[in-house]
């Protein structure tokens, strides 16, 4: 960080997985970080382990309907966060919005209608933002990962550890730090360089539904 200038990063989903790894990676770079998720104890632990000061964003909501929740988090959550942060980002010297999409944002697979539709929406929102922010010093990057081993599968299988583990059977998946690396790459480019999208998968994964497994 040149002089005393320390950029601010607002990281959602910071209690685990990619969000937590991003807090750690950006913290190492000297960013000031506001971290948010529902499990505040976990967010505090991530922030504490990184030795960072934090702003916490308590969100307390529970819904049964998986599709509704998926859209709440992936689509409405993203839109609300964008709307809340944009006025602040516009006040900064330059800004950067990094959205977590997925290969499910441009691929489809059987049984994935709810998730793929929500991630297609993330793709559309990111592309729309780029049009709307054209001419302003604000970059928009969409990170589109394939299979990453986080708590994602544990949540998807409602805490069934075996089912969650089986997702990664016979394959070396990406880890959260691999995605944080991509985010760090995007945000540390010179201000005139906009990394539109980064698609990143395990080498064994050719499509959301095509994974070469050993054994």
Of the candidates 69, 87, 96, 75, the residue with the CA atom closest to the CA atom of residue 11: 96
Dihedral over alpha carbons 114, 115, 120, 121 (to 10 degrees): 70
Q: How far is the CB of 137 from ligand NAP (least distance, A)?
A: 26
The span of 26-34, 140-148, 181-189, 193-201 binding ligand NAP (CB under 6 A) equals 140-148
Nearer Cβ to ligand NAP (111/135): 111
DSSP string, 143-177: EEES-EESSHHHHHTTT-HHHHHHTTTTS--EEHH
> Could you give the CA distance from residue 123 to residue 133 in angstroms, rounded to a whole number?
15
Give catalytic status of residue 115 as yes or no.
yes
Q: Which is nearer to ligand NAP, 82 or 137 (CB)?
A: 82
Query: What is the number of alpha carbons within 13 Å of residue 198 lying toward its C-beta?
Result: 20
Instruction: Tell me the closest approach of the beta carbon of residue 11 to ligand NAP, in angstroms.
Output: 9
Q: Which of residues 34-93 bind ligand NAP (CB under 6 A)?
A: 37-39, 42, 59, 61, 73
Taking the complex as a whole, how short is the minimal distance between the CB of residue 52 and ligand NAP, in angstroms?
16
Q: Figure out which of the listed residues 152, 182, 186, 202 binds ligand NAP, where binding follows CB under 6 A.
A: 152
Strands 210-211 and 205-207: antiparallel
CB of 190 vs ligand NAP, minimal distance in Å:
26
Q: Which tokens in the block code for residue 35?
A: 């971290």
- 8 Å CB contact between 9 and 25: no
Cβ-based neighbours of 118, under 8 Å, separated by 6 or more: 70, 71, 74, 75
Between 13 and 27, CB nearer to ligand NAP = 13
Query: Contact region for ligand NAP (CB under 6 A) — 15-23, 123-131, 134-142, 197-205?
Result: 15-23
| 194: helix, strand or coil | coil
Among 9, 10, 11, 14, binds ligand NAP (CB under 6 A): 14
- Whose CB is nearest to ligand NAP? 17
Closest CB 73 distance from ligand NAP, rounded Å:
5
The rounded distance, in Å, linking the Cα atoms of 142 and 145 is: 10
Positions marked catalytic? 115
Give residues in contact with ligand NAP (CB under 6 A): 13-19, 37-39, 42, 59, 61, 73, 100, 102, 145, 147-148, 150-152, 155, 176
């Amino acid at each position: 960080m040149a002089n005393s200038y320390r950029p601010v990063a607002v990281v959602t989903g910071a209690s685990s997985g990619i969000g937590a790894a991003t807090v750690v990676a950006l913290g190492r770079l000297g960013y000031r970080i506001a971290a948010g998720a529902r499990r505040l104890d976990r967010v505090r632990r991530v922030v504490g382990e990184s030795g960072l000061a934090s702003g916490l964003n308590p969100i307390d909501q529970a819904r049964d309907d998986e599709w509704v929740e998926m859209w709440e988090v992936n689509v409405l959550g993203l839109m609300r966060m964008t709307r809340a942060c944009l006025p602040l980002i516009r006040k900064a010297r330059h800004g950067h919005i990094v959205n977590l999409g997925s290969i499910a944002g441009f691929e489809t697979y059987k049984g994935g209608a709810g998730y793929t539709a929500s991630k297609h929406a993330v793709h559309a929102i990111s592309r729309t933002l780029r049009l709307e922010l054209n001419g302003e010093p604000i970059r928009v990057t969409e990170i589109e990962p394939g299979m990453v081993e986080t708590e994602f599968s544990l949540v998807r299988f409602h805490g069934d550890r075996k089912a969650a583990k089986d997702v990664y059977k016979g394959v070396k998946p990406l880890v959260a730090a691999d995605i944080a690396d991509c985010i760090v790459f995007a945000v540390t480019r010179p201000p005139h360089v906009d990394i539109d999208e980064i698609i990143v998968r395990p080498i064994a994964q050719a499509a959301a539904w095509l994974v070469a497994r050993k054994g």
